[in-house]
Each structure stands twice: as structure tokens, then as C-alpha cells.
A and B are shown apart, each in its own frame.
Chain A
């Protein structure tokens, strides 16, 4: 189990230190600082073993979160906890920064007391936590006895993530499908590896204890239904269905039902939460195609031409497009010509950065650069790192579609039709690279 949890700033100064178990000594804090934060060589592994103590760390901007343990714990569990902890902190005070951590350290200790007991992770649901850990300490005095007992029953009860008696005038529901698409492509346009990792994030403002059912174009479900309907229907819907490689759900989802019927039904927590995460690798729509042309002219000149093609419906608009063309380390000057957007040579990053605000589908744009090189006595050849790209598109590159989201609340007098539902798809680039 987790023996202790430390938060450091970028200099390695300890901001928060909470030790849960006696086997973690005082020197553990320093051991991590010396061996990881101040390590001569950058430590890339998120798990570090120092003197029989394992340290699991995640980094948020300049802040290090490290969990220490002497036992053989489930590393995935510890990381899940650390990420959850980041979410909780973000929900309480916004961005995790040194300033914010310092200003809220009492709150953080309070949270740590709540979400970890003797090193075992407890309820880390922001919604639930917010009912009894508040930033305004005085407010808690107004809790009536009834309310307090409610908190107890909620935290200890079967549905720990939702309290009873929630009432909204307008029953609303927001559903976001957020995906990030990762790609590695050869210079000739051959896909070397590609996958999409996506999340379904839900914001629910519903009264009472509603029962929800979520449906999407999962291939297995569609095929099953298709068998009942007819072969023609199956063939038709088969095109649009997607094969999900693996997925995980929020704790509110009834896994037994998913296992038996593959239907996703749940009582949602109040407010924002992540309903599910998934990954697909087949039939990915690649929103952009990058075509690089690199020509070396002698030892002192390099000509680079990069063409990008948008590969989606022309009615849709991609945003925040950024193409990053790495330059050799001995670049001494760059001349750029681009038709669209802005391009700049950023010496501090050794790259040409080309930014386009918006771009419609089925379009093409290009940039050409002349890079002057300084002859060096170093015989090493330039390694030609891949051209990377960032963008945001208003559809799901995996092809996922929300088919329905039904809400039932038998006790209260609103039906599925009264709930206002919003669905949004956002596809972002993960690591989207093309070799040149």
C-alpha cells in the first residue's frame, strides 16, 4: 500500500508531505529529490526504486507528485490514484501550480486524510468529497443534523457517488466524446502505427436518482441486433460500427450488465465525471495527411517542403492546427514561404512552427523553407526527427457515434423526453508524426 505521498515544486522543495505508514522514513523525501528531481540524467521511468522504496511519480507542469511505498503494490492502482488526486485538486482549486498548492495546503492535507486511509485509497469522487470537504470552513456549521446523517449514509452506502434529494429545475445533460488520435507515418505515406484513445465525459444535472442507459455504435452490439433484424441491416450498420479494443468505466456503471448484455447502464454522479475510456486501432479516420519533401543541397543548404491535406467532410472546420518541422542542429538561418497561416523558425526549439487557425475539410496547404546550415566538423549525420502536428477537429476520428442516452426516473415526474441532452465530439491530435 502507499506509504507516503509527497508534493514537490520544480526546485525539489517539499510542499506537501504526508506519511501514512511507519516504514517510510523521513529520508525518503530527500531520496526522491536527490535521485529523481535533481538527477543528473533525466529520469524517464515513472517508477523509481531507491533503497528498497518504490517511488511513483507524475508531473503536472512544474509540480511533482510522488507516492512512496516499501511494499509490492499494484503500480497501476497507484498511478490511477495519483491521477485521480490531480483531478480532485484541479476540481477544488483549479490549475495545479506551486502558488495554488501553497495557498491550499490545509485543504490538501484534509483531502489526503479523506482519500487515503492508512495507504489504502478511499472514495475520491469529487462530487462526494465536495459535500463534506469545503473550502469555506464556516459553512459546515450550517449543516443540519439531517444533512450530516445524509452524508454518512451516502459515503457508506451502496451508491457512494450520488446523494439523494438532488433537484434541478431544468434537467440537463452534456455528453462530450473526446478523442486523441496518434499516428506514425512513413515518408511514403504508409501508416506505421495508429491508434485512438478516447474518453466519454458527462456533465449531468438531473434530479433524483435517475437510471441512465448509454448506447453507441459498438460493433458487438450492432452485430447482435443485426442478427435479429436482417442481414441487410447488419451489413449497412456494420460499416458504421466500430471495434473497441478495450475500455474502462466509471465505478457507477453496472459491470455485470455490461458483461452479460453489453449495455451501459448507470446511476450518474452529479456534475462532471468521466463515464468511460476506450481505445481503438482499426478503421481510424486520419484527419490530416502530411507530405514532406526534404532535399539536401550540398553541405550547407536544405530545402524543405511540407504539404498538409485535410481529409474529412468539407463542411467541418479543423482548428488550432500546428505543424512542427524539426531543423538540423547546425541551422544558421531559415527562409520561409507559406500561403496560409503563420510560420516561424523557433531557434529555442530547433524547429519551424507553422500555425493555421482554421482549415476546412478536403483542402490542401503548403509551406516551403530554405534552411542554411553551418558546416561543422562533426561527422554525425542529422537524424531527421519526424514532423509532428497538432490540431482539433469536431468529429471522432475513431468513428464512434452516440446512438442514445436514455434517462429513467420512476419516482419523479420527468421522462426521457424532458431531459435536454447535448452531445459534442472533439478529436485532438495525440502524437501525430510523419517521418521525413
Chain B
């Protein structure tokens, strides 16, 4: 929730002394254009203005426009002026600098009024070469506002800028630098990115120019970071932190911070300099800073920037430096305790800005317990401050403090204040932060209190944040549940209070937990039964009630107040008020009742038999009613008991609630206990941080095994991605010898289908991955490996890959294959993905076999035997005699031989029962002709397979492949 927060933001971002004078030009133009230019630019840069520069014509024009009664009159006046300027710019007579400036100024004004300007650019560029400051300035102004990057004039402009940069005149250099920064285009960056660093670090450059150069470089670095060269100047830039001039230091700090984020190692030396500078500012008496003391606060912008720069790095290792920094931070904290030196809001704003930045540095370092606790106490004071902004910021910072082990306890002491804030705060965004903080500070000791408070707040909460609060309550209740009766109570309460905002995931989770835990089932049944007795209950409650009573209604059936019939009629009284999915669920509950309580069977059968069920317009309901009715009539009690058995415990999986909360908040916004901990040791160890994020998802994994002892919910932090060697699945491999399409692999999670096409020595396999679950597969990757020998024989490449496969979705991947020479082994497809937190490894042998590269050949009987004889050498023939594994069906055998790839030749063999085939195997290097003969012996249930090819290895392999098929 930004709005409150931004109060500090912009003021600090725009670099105070440095930036507002140089980049904040836009408001100035309008002001000076309208007040017939008196000299608005920074006083240090301004040369004296001669009297003739008043530009009376401009003032008259502007007052004319102001006096226009209507839009039409304004347009007429502008058209007239444009025509006038055009006639002046016609080029018949040379204009003097003054009039050129005046007309360009008018054009600029007209442009700012919202009209198109398509001329005058040349005149503006001419102004750049003027020696008068005002003319040059107007020229630059026009260019930075109006000239787009693809203009033809860009070369002339760049030339003008180059001249000014080389002029050694600080005012001109400044103007040029401002222009580069204002335009900030790639072309500008290309032209000047090499020049500016040298200006910045040159010894004889004026302070004001250095300042501009630093900010200009910063701007170019932001717009086209790839073009700004890093080089030996970087080291010298760091030393600008020692500069005498605080403006230069401020500008340089902004630049260094940005650069340090890009390449932290190059700017490591800035730490010590920044600390030294910071300590000089913080500990000095405010008098010696003169211009840079803002409402009694010493250089607040610079301090904030230095503190930000330090946040790019881990705490300094050098002890002296470290203690100096600690001293600085302590001083800042001390100063916050001092009574304010001024009642002006600017004073407290500046002071607090420094303080908050210091606190975020402390949190970032996360290493000094005393500082963390002091920061926490300081923020605690702000929690009750009059200023809404301060309360917001304090809550926000506390959220991050709560995740630090050192200050977690300190944060917890403020629980009452935070709860109070939740109840009494007027501003909704502050209340939201309070909820976040409560969530962050929750642990086993205060879970009950916090959950209760959040629940009570939920009744009056703002609609926009209700769903989030519901999720948070659900998560906290589950995570810190010591006894499950409390959990069940809490969630049922939650559904009662905010039924509409309870998402599916929440009530699924209740049922999962109740089913997996025997000890709570009876209590849950009793509680839902009682809750359902309320005259109006939410549909979600009906769902939970229907499910739980259907499963465990028998546990409370002993009590006459909740006898089976009472239970049923209570549920059925809600039936008509519910939507179709709920009704379907209730019907299932009824059939379960029939199993649990035979005494209510007749009543339920009556209900199922009624027209409103049997002839319901909804297909699902009708089907259920019909099927359940028949089931209850036909099936014996044993069958009923088997079919309608109690649900088995759910498999452990990630809490879907947490995933939902994360989705809702977006990455990084969730003040989760582990997730939001800042990356302490710099970005170099970023990978570890992502690991933490992943681990969070296991936190809520439910472990149902009773052996886990007192801790009912076990944090399964160990990464279960056991990267043990995976067995290569070959189950379906042989089935693919004679066919090209089908399912090659399937388990509970994943199905892999193949579709292959072969032409000569080339093949293409379409691999289809189907996610059989309802949750995503994350970081999905697949690659094909083949043994070293195989690599020389076939080439393959995999195209396209998908990092995520949505639940229930199917994705396709294409594999291209080329056969170089004949081969025996097959490549392996390796698949890796993350499902519910565990890493899954699957390896499948791809059905790429030699026979896939067959081209069938038709030939006559005569040809066949001629060739057969030619291939008569003993090493060319392979014969195999084997027992039939399948019934000997002629048609099936024919189909298999055709599927194998060869042409089936009829009427070649004198014995009609024999099968004869011919084909050519294409590889990149050679083609191998191949003849085969299969002689079945029906009596003996045996086959004799004879293969003759021009290569021994081919004959061997083909015989192996085909021999297993019959």
C-alpha cells in the first residue's frame, strides 16, 4: 500500500541538493517562460543577465494566450504566431541570436500547450553554438524537450554537445551534461558514455560539473547500462566520496550505489569511505556543513544515500570499521531520542528519513543484537505516533525485524500495541501492515492470542484484505496448533465469520487434517454438528459439515441429540439452499450415511428417489442420485462397506493455502518468517536464498505418522531431492519395436507419450508430457543422453523446454534424430522436475531402434531369391529359433512385420505359411539392404527367423529386436 509510504520516497530519491537543481527542470521552464525570464537557474551557475534578454514578444504572446476566451480563439492565436515564426525562419534574412531565442522559446511554449511542432529544430541547434548563456540554454531546452532520438539533427546536436563539453567553461559543460541526461537516449549514451567518466574523475573539473557528470552518468547507466563502460575510472569514482564538496559526494553516492548493485566487487573499497563520511556527518556539529544542513539535520540526503550504499554489502569485516559504523548507527538512534530542534515538519521528516534508513541497514546486517533491539524499541515508540506515515513505516520495518532471530523477542513485546493499532487505526493501509506484522511475529507462544485477535478483527475488516487475513489465520492456526480441537474450532469460526472469503483451499485443508488425524475426528464431528445447527450457516460450513459427518458421523451417533436421523435431517435442511457442487457433495454424504447407519437407509432412499433428485436438471446431480440409489438397493452390506469405506489418509503434500497466499501477495511481499529475511551476505550467495524460499513450502507439510512425538506438525526442512541414480525405465521399450506411437512411460504424476516419424535416416519424435496431478511441476527439465559409443552412431537434438507444467496440462517437446551408422543401444530421456517440493527424476529409454530407419522394398520372387543367394556368406545370415510367446495369429504377425518397417512380400516363398520381407536401412553413411524370412511351426509353437543383410551387426541387431516380438 504505497500512498502513505511515498511521503518520504520522492523527497529522498531525487537527491536533494544535487538533483532538484539539475533534473527538476520541467517545472522551472514553465515558470520562467511565463514570467518573461528573470533568471531561474541555479544561482551558482548563473552569469549575469543583460537587460535586453527580457523577451517582451514572448510575454505578450503568453498573455494573449491567457486572455483567450475559448479554445478556438487560442488555436487561432497560435496559428497566427506559428505563421509569423515560419515567415521569420524562412531564411531570407539572417536572424540575430536574440530573436532566434525568442521564437524558439515561443515554439517551446506552444509545444508545451499541447500542439505539434514540426519546424524550428534547426534554429534551436544553431542556438547551441551561441556564446550567450541564455541562448545556449534555450537551445538545449528545446532539444531536450522536442528532439526525438531518430532525428536527422542528432549528429549536429552531438557535435554541439561535444564542443561544449570540451569548452572548459563550467556553465556550458553543465548545460551539455544536463541535455545528455535529459534526453538519455541510446544514441546519446553511445556518443558520450566514454567521455563523461573522464570528466567526472579529471582533477581540474569544477565541483558543479562533477556533480552534473555523476548524475548524467547515473542516468545513462539506468537507460542503457550495457553502454556505460567500466574501467579504471571506477576506482577513482569511489574516491569522490572523500570530496570536499558535499554536492559532489551526494551525486557520487547515487552513482556508486547503482554501480555497486551491478558489480559489487569493483566498489568494495567504497565501504570504508562511506563509513568514514557517514561518521563525519553524523558526529559533526551541524554548523560546519553550512548549505547542507536541512532544518537542523546534517546532510540528510547524503546520509540516507550513504546508508543505502552500505546496504549493498554485508557488514564490514574490519573490526575498527565495524565499530565505527556501529557508533554511527548508535548516534543516529540516540539523536532520535533527543527532543526535536524545530517544530517544523521538515525537521522531523528529515530526521526520521535518516533514522529509518539506518534501521533498514541494521536489519540488513542482522548482526548486532543490541542495535536490533534498540531499533525495535525505537520503532515501538513510533507505533503510537501521531503521524500516520510514521506508524505505517514503523510497522513495515518491524515486519522485517520480526524475522531476525535477535529481535524477534523484542518485536513480540509490542504485541498489544499492534493489536490495538489493528482495532483503532483509521487508515486501512496501516491496518494491513499491522496484520502483516502480527503474522510475522506469531510463534507458538502467542499464536492463540494473535489468531483470536485476527479472527475478531476479521468481522470488521476491510473487504479488500479479508481473503488475505483468512489465509493467514488458516496458516497460523495450522502451523502453531498444539491441540487440534483448537484448530478445528478456529477454522470453523473462520468459516462462520468470513465464509465468503474462505477459499476452497482452506476447507480442503481442514478435511485433510481431520481425516489424517484420528484423535480429532470425533471432536470435529461434534463441532460441525453444533455449528450446523445455527439457522444460517455458510455454504463452506455445509461442505465441511457434509464431508465430516459423512465420514465420522458414527462417532457422535451414540448421543440421542445427534442420532443418525437428526444428523441427516440437519444436513438435508441445508440441501436446498446450496449450489450444485455442494449438493453433489451432500449426496455423497448421504450414501455414506446409508453405510454408516442402516436404520436411515429408507429415509435416504426416499430422498434420492424423489423427482427433484432423480430428474434433476443438472447432469452431475442426477447421475449421482441414480447411481447411489441403485447402489443402495442392489449392493449387499459387505459391498457397501467396501465401496463406502472411510477415506484413506491423504498423502502428504504442500499446504495449498500457503501457495495461494504467496500467489496473492506476489513474490517478496509476504513477510514470512524465513522468506523475507534480507540477503545478509550480499548478492553473491543469492542461490542459497532461493533455497530458503523453497524450504518454506515444506513447513506446512503435514506429517501424519504418530511417531513424530509432541511436535504435531513437523517441519520437513530436509530437501528430499535425493539425487540417487535413477533406474532407466524400459518397460514399454519393446512394444515400440513395431509401432511408432503410444505411451512410453506412466506413473502417478506423469505420463509420457510419443509420436514418431521417420524418413530415411532422419527421425522426429514428439514427446508429450502430461501432468496427471492438479498442481504444477516446477523447474521441469528434460535432456537426452546416450552412451559414448552410441553418440557416434546417432545424433539427436531436443527442441523447446518448459520450466513449468501446470496441473492437468500437457506440453510437447520435439526431438530430432539422425542416424549416422547402425547402432544397437538406445538413447535415454532424462526428466527432472519438482513436484510438491520434492525433486523427481525419471529416465526413460527412448524407442529409437535401427529398424526405424527401414525403407520397405517391393520385389518379385525371382529378385528376392537372387539377392537372398547373394547374401549367402555365413556372417551375413543370422538365424534364430524360438518359442512363440503369443498366440500364432497370421494377421497379427503380418501387422508386426509391416510395423517393423520392411515390405511384406506375398507369394515369394513356396510355403504360403511363411512370411518374407525386404527393406533397406538408411544411415547417413551407408544403406544396408535387408531380407527376412519367418517360418512359423504351428504344431511346435515355434518360429524360425532368418535375416540376411549386408552387415553382420545389422543382422544381429534386427534379429534381436524382431525375435522378441512373437
Contacts and interface: CB of A to CB of B under 8 A. Distances in A.
A223 to B, nearest CB: 48
Nearest to B147: A377
Given A347-B80, A347-B84, A348-B79, A332 B89 contact: yes
Given A62-B69, A374-B119, A377-B121, A332 B79 contact: no
Nearest to B114: A40
**B contact residues, range:** 20 to 34
Nearest to B118: A378
B90 A10 contact: no
Contact of B86 (A331, A348, A378): A331
B79 A347 contact: yes
A332 B87 contact: yes
Given A332-B87, A333-B90, A374-B86, A349 B76 contact: yes
B76 A348 contact: yes
A372 B80 contact: no
Contacts, number: 49
B90 A332 contact: yes
A10 B89 CA distance: 35
Given A348-B80, A378-B118, A10 B70 contact: yes
B725 interface: no
B77 interface: yes
A42 interface: yes
B69 A10 contact: yes
A42 B121 CA distance: 29
Contact of B119 (A42, A348, A349, A376): A376
Interface in B76-94: 76-77, 79-80, 82-84, 86-87, 89-90
A350 interface: yes
Interface string A303-335: 000000000000000000000000001111100
A347 B83 contact: yes
A10 B70 CA distance: 7
B79 A350 contact: yes
B43 interface: no
B71 interface: yes
Contacts of A329: 82, 118
Contacts of B153: 377
B687 interface: no
B152 interface: yes
The DSSP consensus for interface residues of chain A is loop
Nearest to B70: A10
A64 to B, nearest CB: 11
A377 B80 contact: no
A347 B69 CA distance: 19
A7 B153 CA distance: 51
Interface in A344-387: 347-350, 372, 374-378
A331 B118 contact: no
Nearest to B121: A377
Contacts of A42: 71
A329 B86 CA distance: 10
B866 interface: no
B911 interface: no
Contact of A377 (B70, B77, B86, B152): B152
B86 A62 contact: no
A422 B77 CA distance: 45
Contacts of B121: 377
A349 B82 CA distance: 11
A42 B72 CA distance: 11
Nearest to A351: B79
Contacts of A376: 118-119
B151 interface: yes
Contacts of A378: 118-119
A199 to B, nearest CB: 27
B694 to A, nearest CB: 49
The DSSP consensus for interface residues of chain B is helix
Contact of A331 (B71, B76, B83): B83
B112 to A, nearest CB: 15
A62 to B, nearest CB: 6
Contact of B118 (A332, A333, A348, A377): A377
Given A377-B121, A377-B151, A377-B152, A332 B80 contact: no
Nearest to B88: A332
A348 B84 CA distance: 10
Contacts of A372: 90
Contacts of B79: 347-350
Contact of A330 (B71, B119, B151, B152): B119
Nearest to B119: A376
A14 B86 CA distance: 40
Interface string A287-317: 0000000000000000000000000000000
Contacts of B86: 330-332, 374
A84 to B, nearest CB: 26
Contacts of B77: 348
A252 B80 CA distance: 51
A383 to B, nearest CB: 14
A330 B86 CA distance: 7
Looking at A330, A332, A378, which has the most chain B CB atoms within 10 Å of its CB? A332
Contacts of B82: 329, 347
A349 B77 CA distance: 9
Given A347-B79, A348-B79, A350-B79, A374 B70 contact: no
Contacts of A375: 119
B167 to A, nearest CB: 28
Looking at B79, B83, B84, B152, which has the most chain A CB atoms within 10 Å of its CB? B83
Nearest to B77: A348
Nearest to B90: A332
Contacts of B76: 348-349
Nearest to B152: A377
A195 to B, nearest CB: 27
Interface string B89-119: 1100000000000000000000000000011
A377 B71 CA distance: 27
Interface string A90-108: 0000000000000000000
Contacts of B87: 332-333
A36 to B, nearest CB: 13
B84 A374 contact: no
Contacts of A331: 83, 86
A251 to B, nearest CB: 36
Contacts of A347: 79-80, 82-84
Interface in B664-680: none
A119 B84 CA distance: 52
A376 B77 CA distance: 21
A303 to B, nearest CB: 17
Contacts of A330: 86, 118-119
Looking at B79, B84, B89, which has the most chain A CB atoms within 10 Å of its CB? B79
A376 B146 CA distance: 14
Contacts of A332: 83, 86-87, 89-90
A330 to B, nearest CB: 6
B121 to A, nearest CB: 6
B111 to A, nearest CB: 13
Contacts of A377: 118-119, 121, 151-153
Nearest to B80: A348
A332 B89 CA distance: 8
Nearest to B83: A347
A82 to B, nearest CB: 21
Nearest to B75: A348
A270 to B, nearest CB: 39
Nearest to A300: B90
A378 B153 CA distance: 13
B156 to A, nearest CB: 12
Interface string B51-84: 0000000000000000001110000110110111
A197 B71 CA distance: 30
Nearest to A327: B83
A378 to B, nearest CB: 4
Q: Which 5 pairs from chain A and chain B are nearest by CB?
A: A347-B83, A378-B118, A348-B76, A348-B80, A332-B86
7 contacts: A348-B76, A350-B83, A374-B86, A374-B89, A374-B119, A377-B119, A378-B119
